[in-house]
Structure 1
Amino acid sequence: MRILIVEDEPSLGRQLRSTLEGAGYAVDLATDGVDGHFLGETESYDAVVLDLGLPEMDGLTILNKWRKQDRDMPVLVLTARDSWSDKVAGLDAGADDYLAKPFQTEELIARLRALIRRSAGHASSVLEAGEIRLDTRSGKVTRDGEPVKLTAQEYKLLSYLMHHKGKVVSRTELIEHIYDQDFDRDSNTIEVFVTRIRKKLGAETITTIRGLGYSLEDPEERVGD
């Protein structure tokens, strides 16, 4: 999953980036409103952490512009302001959640997980596909109750497909959502990770849809088709 942080306080921005990367997310960081708006307008993100008090362009203006451009990624507004009017203004501009500084990073991560789950249509923090279970809180993956060890990149790819179970996901979409903007998009690592996941979880886990991409479904649903 890929997150955009728009935060002008250098130490906080670096801390959030490091924490979210440690939690398994691909993260881009913008330190002013203009750069933040551009990234949110041109790149694909699963969620955004957006400070309201930004130089160059404030957070509410950015949010209004994104929503008018039909950019519908979940946005968590992050600000030192804590009055009810600021909260209302942020939510009315299109924010999905609100967190006032100071805050615990564990709460921010939990709120982001919930936003990403809800945007993909999932209520539970545990995602399932047949015998495979992925716990988004702990980052653990099991097959038929047995733990399966995945690398960080394998986990990111599987997590994205689990969040979008039953849908065909293109290679380009996977690259856009599991890597930051500096990744070499001509790389063949997606194919490599798919092969490794199949070896660990079963060849039938991920289906290749020729010319379109990949799909992960419940085995019962595949049989029913």
Structure 2
Amino acid sequence: MRILVIEDEHKAADYIKLGLTQEAYQVDVAYEGQEGLHMALEYNYDLIIQDIMLPNLNGWEILKKIRTKNQTIPIILLTACDSIEDRVKGLNLGADDYLVKPFAFSELLARVQARLRRKTTSVSNIIKLAHLEVDFNRQIVKSAGKRLELSAKEFSLLSLLLHRRGQVLSRTIIAEQVWDINFDSDTNIIDVAIKRLRAKLEDKEHQLIKTIRGRGYCIENEE
């Protein structure tokens, strides 16, 4: 599951990211409104957590613009705006939930899990690409109908590549999102993991993971 956090308070954003990452979610952070809106519309996320009082573009505008493009993605407002009027406005604009700061992370996590459960019970979370079929709800990967055995890191790596298919992901991004580490160019952990994943997924007819020299890796939709 991939989550976008739009929050200009760096300490709060990093705290949320750390907590959700420890719960095995993949988390991206935008620290201002315009960047957050761009990421929300450009990439595929399973849920968005956003503040209202943001620089460059406020949360109300972000919420309205997202809802013109996507009616189904769960959005949780996490904000210090605690009046009844603000809560009603947020829900009327299309927010699915509203949590007031300061907050307990356990409550935020419970709300995230509840919203994602509702989403996955109503929407299939299966991606099919060429000979590959990935069921993210059950974490099952099949190649030409045959189930593959992937490690937890291999599944996370494949999930990242598929949810951002068509995008070139640098080794730094992969290291941060899958291993939660800063990439060290002297190590080859990413290249080794890609090689192992390729060996399990690919055959002579289907070369799904592309190496983009000097930039990173990507999975492209086959024509």
Query: Residues 1-225 of structure 1: matches in 2 within 5 Å?
Result: 1-70=1-70, 72-121=72-121, 151-152=152-153, 154=155, 172-173=162-163, 182-183=173-174, 192=196
Alignment check: 8 A CA contact 1:51 1:78 kept: yes
**1:121 is matched by which residue type in structure 2?**
T
Distance in 2 between residues matched to 1:153 and 1:105, nearest whole Å: 28
With normalisation by structure 1, the TM-score equals 0.60
The equivalent residue for 2:133 is none
Alignment check: 8 A CA contact 1:52 1:77 kept: yes
Distance in 1 between residues matched to 2:195 and 2:152, nearest whole Å: 15
Q: Sort the Cα spacing of 1:174 and 1:37 in 2 relative to 1 into closer, same or farther, 3 A.
A: closer
Aligned residues: 165
Alignment check: 8 A CA contact 1:2 1:26 kept: yes
Q: Unpaired segments of 5 or more residues in structure 2?
A: 123-136, 139-149, 176-190, 209-223
Distance in 2 between residues matched to 1:85 and 1:156, nearest whole Å: 43
Shift of 1:150: 5.4
Name the SS for the 1:78 alignment partner: strand
Alignment check: 8 A CA contact 2:20 2:27 kept: yes
- Identical aligned residues as a percent: 32
Distance in 2 between residues matched to 1:114 and 1:150, nearest whole Å: 26
**2:25 is matched by which residue type in structure 1?**
Y
Distance in 2 between residues matched to 1:31 and 1:80, nearest whole Å: 16
Shift of 1:6: 0.2
Alignment check: 8 A CA contact 1:41 1:71 kept: no
The equivalent residue for 1:219 is none
Q: Sort the Cα spacing of 1:58 and 1:117 in 2 relative to 1 into closer, same or farther, 3 A.
A: same
RMSD over aligned CA atoms reads 3.8
The equivalent residue for 1:204 is none
